[in-house]
A = this chain, B = another copy of it.
């Protein structure tokens, strides 16, 4: 029977899971991880290596703040995809873009976008290897990124065990804080604005962590820390205990935006766009992970029944809400 419910009523995560359930990739022996399973799909390509592939559609209204230059739009379109490659521990080996723009668009605008993509791809050790252009009322860019990884070093979302240490790279909430500043006319330094407008995919960190053998599971924080924790919690059937004091807040956020501790914690947990790596490490391997990557230990993996919560500065334990940056109005 046809289901005429509007997609907005079931939300992004449920729709993805419903669509993935319809597909038949499970029967293909070359597909190691298929739709809905991880940050990237994974295909067997040789005895030693997997290819990882991801695609992401961005468009003017919801993904590119008006302050973004065309170069930054290009950079962002590549970065969101290359971040997914990073989260599998893979080395990028190509980026493709399909771009739709109106016929009246300046050539220079399109060239600047392409330059931004190429600069981001090159920064990540790869290049723009293909694409498509299309006419479209609203600027729309779909990127596709590819990576290679040794079979023994592939990192996935699955593998967290109770007792593992929870880590993130970089800061949490910086992109969300910068967006808040823009929307409220607050002047902020470039060091913060850049986190929103030109995020750095954590390629080197992802590869180094994969090589270290220390990581039990990994994903990126593009939809926000809370949402990512819940994704890992559901998949691994575990809970998380996060330490509020350990959340890595960029000093500029408390300096320019707010010094209110509750607001800082909410920015760190519930805003997206950071593109940092969130991962778990077996305690005896923490030193190995620390020796290859600047990381912040923010909590531990706990039993499923204990849920996903935060231990506040006053010692109180609160539940973390299942919310973050999602399409379709979750």
Contacts and interface: CB of A to CB of B under 8 A. Distances in A.
A246 interface: no
Nearest to A38: B130
Interface stretch (A47-55, A160-168, A176-184, A278-286): A47-55
A123 to B, nearest CB: 11
A142 B143 CA distance: 9
Given A118-B22, A136-B138, A136-B140, A55 B131 contact: yes
Given A43-B94, A57-B142, A35 B105 contact: no
B135 A34 contact: no
A228 interface: no
Identify whether the interface residues of A are mostly helix, strand, loop, or mixed.
mixed
Q: How large is the interface on A (under 10, 10 to 19, 20 to 34, 35 or more residues)?
A: 35 or more
Nearest to A59: B136
A214 interface: no
B34 A132 contact: no
Contacts of A327: 133-135
Given A24-B122, A142-B57, A94 B127 contact: no
B55 A3 contact: no
Contact of A94 (B6, B31, B110, B126): B31
A114 B16 CA distance: 11
A3 B41 contact: no
A36 to B, nearest CB: 8
B4 A55 contact: no
Nearest to A104: B6
Given A6-B105, A137-B138, A132 B49 contact: no
B15 A133 contact: yes
A54 to B, nearest CB: 7
Nearest to A101: B7
Which of A24, A27, A110, A144 has the largest number of chain B CB atoms within 10 A?
A144
B128 A7 contact: no
Contacts of A126: 28
Nearest to A113: B19
Given A94-B43, A140-B100, A10 B133 contact: no
A302 interface: no
Given A6-B103, A23-B118, A103-B329, 20 more contacts: A7-B103, A8-B104, A15-B110, A18-B111, A24-B122, A24-B127, A31-B93, A31-B129, A36-B130, A43-B94, A43-B129, A54-B96, A56-B98, A57-B98, A59-B136, A133-B327, A134-B327, A136-B140, A140-B140, A144-B144
